[in-house]
A = this chain, B = another copy of it.
């Protein structure tokens, strides 16, 4: 079996952590024996923009579409390109054009990572984020100049995209604790969110054995700090999913370890795997970035390829390395990016 992966390290620490995760993938391919990865690396990032005036070549999407998946580090360097341009011309375009309808992001207590919460219990949740529309929209614009200037931002919510995300969430809950929470704000946001509630209500009738709960986003973020163990699967709009998953990474103990998968469900285009963290310009180039977010993301890619046993091996190795304190500074250790990878590789070699 051969998987062809387009790697886009991107900017900042992306360039440092993507090669580490590739080494881990090579290692599990060797363990498996009958599996092969072919990696092509594309340096389409903010430097590319500075040279070419765009984040990717004109045929960039076409080229990426040939691969089984896209493996992305992080995009963004405001000293070169404003974020809303760098990100819209790369990550957000890929999510949309490749019909990556969902963004799946787990957050759970890992022994050895110190949660900032006094009593996180054993929380273990997954956020299923609608990934193509909602609050993330390029429709809108500005009017007037000077003191009367206004911006209008249009948000689009389709029953199709919402119910796709919700069905996925319910199916996932079946294999887990059987509970789905809907993130809403139907008291304040007048048109989109009551519609979201309505569709959630409808979809839930297809799953009589799944328990449901609907919470306004403001209450939900408070529950993330007071009692995250009450959650199993959470389904959320594009923006609310974004907010909840960074908060989820925060209560896990580090944004540096949180993974994400942008899933294409119709098989027409590749899915994309990228960690929750950004390009972290403050620590870029120092060799101290935590590679675990990217490596856990590689595990999600293995799962997506159906190689769940290999995915479990990687997760096991990650947990062992963390438990024994062989980590980067952000989660309490003293190792460099590369040293953490070496430890993970040596755990894998024990199998």
The answer to whether B222 and A138 have CB atoms under 8 Å apart is no
Say yes or no: B246 contacts A221, CB within 8 Å: yes
Is A8 part of the contact surface with B, judged by Cβ < 8 Å?
no
Cross-chain contact A188 with B158 (CB below 8 angstroms): no
- Tell me which of B76, B140, B159, B243 contacts A149 (CB under 8 A): B159
Which single residue of chain B is at the shortest CB-CB distance from A92?
B188
Query: In the complex, what's the smallest C-beta–C-beta distance from A150 to chain B, in angstroms?
Result: 5
Q: Which residues of B contact A140 (CB under 8 A)?
A: 154-155, 190-192
Distance in angstroms from A301 CB to nearest chain B CB is: 22
Interchain CB contact under 8 A, A189 and B135: yes
CB-CB contacts of A184-212 with B at 8 A, as 1s and 0s? 01111111111100000000000000000
For the complex, give the distance between the alpha carbons of A223 and B242 in Å: 14
Question: Is there contact, CB below 8 Å, between A195 and B119?
Answer: no
**Closest Cβ–Cβ distance, residue A290 to chain B (whole Å):** 14
Find chain B residues with CB under 8 A from A119 CB: 116
How far is the CB of A266 from the nearest CB of chain B, in Å? Answer: 16
Cβ of A154 and Cβ of B154 under 8 Å apart? yes
A84 proximity list for chain B (CB < 8 A)? 186-188, 190, 193-194
Q: Quick one: which of A210-245 are within 8 Å of B by CB?
A: 217-219, 221-226, 238-239, 242-243, 245
Question: Residues of B contacting A156 with CB < 8 Å?
Answer: 150-152
B191 and A141 contact, CB distance less than 8 A: yes
Chain B residues with CB below 8 A from A225, complex form = 116-117, 225, 247, 250-251
- Does A83 sit at the interface, judged by CB under 8 A? yes
* Residues of the B chain whose Cβ atoms lie less than 8 Å from the Cβ of A62: none
A221 and B221 within 8 A (CB): yes
* A168 CB–B CB distance under 8 Å: no
Q: Are A192 and B153 interface neighbours, CB within 8 A?
A: yes
Does A142 make an interface contact (CB < 8 A)?
A: yes
The distance in angstroms between the C-alpha atoms of A92 and B218, with both chains bound, is: 16
